[in-house]
Structure 1
Amino acid sequence: MTQRSPRSPEQAHKESTGCTGKRSRTGFVPLSEFDERALLSDYRFLEEAAAAGEAAHRVAPAQRRAMPPPHLQELVHQARNRGVALHLQHPGMERRARNSSCFNRRERRLRWHVEWRFPAVGFAAVDKRVDEGRPLGELLSKHLALTPGGAEKAHRLREYADAGANTLTIVMRQELRPANDPAFYRLPPSLPLAGALRGKTLVEFPGLKINRAVVLSREVLLWYL
């Protein structure tokens, strides 16, 4: 008959409690028992946790950019149908917040948010939801004309109005170019807004600058074809 070896107190403890004999790596250790061995164990535990986190990050699927709401998807789609590459910024960004452009589904017309800059006098003006069929020259003339309640604006833009339409040029910055290498499109005032924007790239909306002939000599221009 085979005799079993007597169990040690440690073996009896393991069998009765399920203890593995290893210190719990997340259990509480009194300060009086926190020796060099415990410190080394904690250090290794932190290293393993960091490695596991990095591995999970590597295999995690890349987050997709949130899709814009349907009305903005429609705006981008309709702009593309008209030959305009429209780029929308993230919600909360300044140009995104200012943009009033929309697509009128009932009329099947794009209405653009247009910002005008008159650098010679440091003035800016805005047209909200302008129909795509409006000629640029007509829109510009509206800003230069004296209208009821617009005396201050007319005074600020008097230098442009007095210069005459023949000396004014409408230009639009070419988007997505390096900041140190700007270029501009020259837009004929007879063109409707839709024609002026065809073949262009926009970030949110068109920004038009009104230059006088003396300023044009210092600009790099890409002529509209």
Structure 2
Amino acid sequence: MYSKFATLTIALPCVKKHKSDSGCTGVRDKTAFVPLSCFDEMTLLSDYRFLEDSGRLADSITRDRHRLPQQKNQKARILRLGAHRLNLQLRLLPNGFTKSRENTTFFNKRECRFYWHVKLLFPESSTEYRERRVPDNRTLKEILTPYIHPTESEPVKRQKLKVYVRDSFDGVRVFMKVENRKCNSMR
């Protein structure tokens, strides 16, 4: 049977070759910049649909808060209660965020102590380490000793972080990123 609408198709080997050569996934980046000279009705429609989808997702999250997994609600509740007990100001990210999923911080009720998930960034050597279950009574010196102490640190880490290795910790400066700032505004 003949159809008046012709459909263009591309052979599967050609599609696979294109994807491997160009790194193309076949899915258009909805957030990619489009210059005004290339902006047309299809781009406008695509942007409109993207905004509609975003609004729909935001609305569904506010409606379905009570449907969050019980385990995550329980963990957040325990962390909040522990912070309140120790008079700490604690802010938690929503469950969908990557940092929230990676965070292994927990509060031990028996010991009345937080065990923190700590991310250590060493910008001079472009190195990042994560420490899990760091008790809240450990000092920065105790946390950094396995990384930058001239004799007590592991040789592999010491070599990677040789810019930071010092005879004493007096010359070491530790900075913490200030959170909840405007986008691209680091402090």
State whether TM-score is above 0.5: yes
Number of the residue aligned with 1:76: 80
Number of the residue aligned with 1:63: 63
Q: TM-score, normalised by structure 2?
A: 0.56
Q: CA deviation at 1:139?
A: 1.0
Structure 2 matches for 1:112-131, cutoff 5 A? 112-131=116-135
Number of the residue aligned with 2:146: 142
Letter in 1 for 2:106: C
Q: TM-score, normalised by structure 1?
A: 0.48
Q: CA deviation at 1:171?
A: 1.1
Q: CA deviation at 1:163?
A: 7.3
User: Contact 2:121/2:129 (CA < 8 Å) preserved in 1?
Assistant: yes
Structure 1 ranges of 4+ moved more than 4 A = none
Residue aligned with 1:173, SS: coil
User: Contact 2:145/2:152 (CA < 8 Å) preserved in 1?
Assistant: no
Structure 2 matches for 1:1-225, cutoff 5 A? 63-66=63-66, 68-81=72-85, 82-91=87-96, 93-145=97-149, 146=151, 150-162=154-166, 164-183=168-187
User: Contact 1:75/1:102 (CA < 8 Å) preserved in 2?
Assistant: yes
- Number of residue equivalences: 121
More helix by share: 2
User: Contact 1:102/1:110 (CA < 8 Å) preserved in 2?
Assistant: yes
Post-superposition Cα deviations, 1:21-65, rounded to whole Å, max 9, x if no partner, equal: xxxxxxxxxxxxxxxxxxxxxxxxxxxxxxxxxxxxxxxxx6152
Q: CA deviation at 1:96?
A: 1.8
Q: CA deviation at 1:89?
A: 2.6
In structure 2, relative to structure 1, the CA distance for the partners of 1:164 and 1:122 (3 Å cut) is farther
Q: CA deviation at 1:143?
A: 1.9
Q: CA deviation at 1:147?
A: 5.2
Distance 1:84 1:133 in 2: 17
Q: CA deviation at 1:161?
A: 0.7
Taking every aligned residue pair, what percent have the same amino acid on both sides? 23
In structure 2, relative to structure 1, the CA distance for the partners of 1:122 and 1:158 (3 Å cut) is same
Q: Which has the higher contact order (CA 8 A, sep 6+)?
A: 1
Letter in 2 for 1:63: R
Residue aligned with 1:181, SS: coil
More displaced stretch, 173-182 vs 65-74: 65-74
Residue aligned with 2:157, SS: helix
Residue aligned with 2:63, SS: coil
Q: CA deviation at 1:172?
A: 0.8
| Larger Rg, first or second structure (1 or 2) | 1
5+ residue gaps, structure 1: 1-61, 184-225
